[in-house]
C-alpha cells in the first residue's frame, strides 16, 4: 500500500506516523511555503506539483493506491487541484479536515466570507486589531487606519510597515494569548476558522476579555469529495482502500 499525503498540518504528521507504523508506504508532500517546517516520518517531497496537470502527471509517473489531502482548511487551491487530478487519473481521494470552531454562548463572533469583508467590518468593532490570519491576505487590512498587530510564522514579503509583527508558531498557551491582548490593548481579533486546539486559546482569551472576534469562513469544498474529520477515520479509510479490488 502506497499513499500520497498532502500535508503540512499536525493531523497530516500524525496520520503519516500511524500509517508508516502500520506498514503503509507514505509520500508526504509539503508546499514549502513555511520555513523550518515540521517534517513527518516517511518519504517527503517539498514544493508544488504545477497545478492539476502537474499533479496528474506525477500520479502517473509515481503510482499510488490513494491520495489523502490533509492540508490546511484554507488551502483551497491545493484541494481543488487534488480533486481534479485524482479524478483524471482514477486514484481514490480522501480529504481530512479537522472540525471548525464552535462559539461559546459568551463569545461575540462576527462571521465573514473573505479577508476583504473582515477589513471592512473591522473599523466598526474596534480601534486596535490583532490579526491571526497568516501572512497571506494581510494587505487587505493595510488601509483600515487602525493600529494593527499581526502574527505570522514567517515574515511577509515585502515586510509591511503599516502594522507591528509577531513571528511565532503554535501551539499557543492561554496565558500568553491573554498577555498579548492586554499588553497591546487589543479590542478586536481577526482570525480564520482553522479549527483545532493548537491556536484556539486566542478565542478563549478574547472571550474572557470581552473582545469581539471576526472569523473568516472556510472556503467551500468541491462537491462530491469524501471528507473525514479525524486521523482515526482517515486510517480506517486507507485500510479499506488497501483491500479494495480497484487498488
Contact by Cβ (8 Å): 150, 166:
yes
Distances (CA, A) of 160 to 10, 138, 143, 170, 216: 28, 9, 12, 22, 22
Distances (CA, A) of 171 to 104, 158, 191: 21, 26, 15
What is the model's pLDDT at position 246?
52
Q: 109-216 belongs to which homologous superfamily?
A: NAD(P)-binding Rossmann-like Domain (3.40.50.720)
Task: Give residue limits of the domains in the chain.
Answer: 2-99+220-242, 109-216
Fold match between domain 2-99+220-242 and domain 109-216: yes
Residues 92-104 have pLDDT tens digits of: 999 999 999 999 9
**Alpha-carbon distance 98 to 199, whole Å?**
13
Second-level CATH architecture of 2-99+220-242: 3-Layer(aba) Sandwich (3.40)
Residues 160-210 have pLDDT tens digits of: 999 999 999 989 999 999 999 999 999 999 999 999 998 999 999 999 999
Q: Is the pTM of this model over 0.85?
A: yes
Amino acid at each position: 500500500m502506497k499513499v500520497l499525503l498532502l500535508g503540512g498540518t499536525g493531523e497530516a504528521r500524525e496520520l503519516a506516523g500511524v500509517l508508516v507504523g502500520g506498514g503503509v508506504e507514505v509520500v508526504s508532500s509539503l508546499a514549502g511555503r513555511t520555513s523550518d517546517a515540521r517534517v513527518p516520518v516517511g518519504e517527503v517531497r517539498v514544493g508544488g506539483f504545477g497545478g492539476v496537470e502537474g499533479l496528474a502527471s506525477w500520479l502517473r509517473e509515481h503510482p499510488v493506491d490513494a491520495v489523502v489531502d490533509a492540508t490546511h482548511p484554507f488551502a483551497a487551491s491545493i484541494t481543488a487541484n487534488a480533486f481534479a487530478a485524482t479524478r483524471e487519473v482514477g486514484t481514490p481521494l480522501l480529504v481530512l479536515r479537522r472540525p471548525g470552531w464552535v462559539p461559546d454562548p459568551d463569545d461575540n463572533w462576527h462571521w465573514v466570507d473573505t479577508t476583504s469583508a473582515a477589513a471592512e467590518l473591522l473599523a466598526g468593532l474596534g480601534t486596535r486589531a490583532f490579526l491571526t490570519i497568516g501572512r497571506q491576505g494581510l494587505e487587505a487590512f493595510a488601509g483600515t487606519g487602525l493600529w494593527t498587530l499581526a502574527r505570522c510564522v514567517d515574515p511577509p514579503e515585502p515586510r509591511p510597515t503599516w502594522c507591528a509583527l509577531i513571528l511565532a508558531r503554535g501551539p499557543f498557551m492561554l496565558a500568553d494569548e491573554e498577555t498579548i491582548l492586554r499588553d497591546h490593548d487589543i479590542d478586536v481579533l481577526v482570525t480564520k476558522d482553522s479549527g483545532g486546539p493548537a491556536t484556539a486559546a486566542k478565542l478563549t482569551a478574547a472571550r474572557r476579555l470581552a473582545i469581539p472576534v471576526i472569523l473568516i469562513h472556510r472556503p467551500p469544498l468541491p462537491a462530491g469529495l469524501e471528507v473525514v474529520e479525524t486521523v482515526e477515520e482517515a486510517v480506517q479509510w486507507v485500510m479499506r482502500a488497501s483491500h479494495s479490488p480497484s487498488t
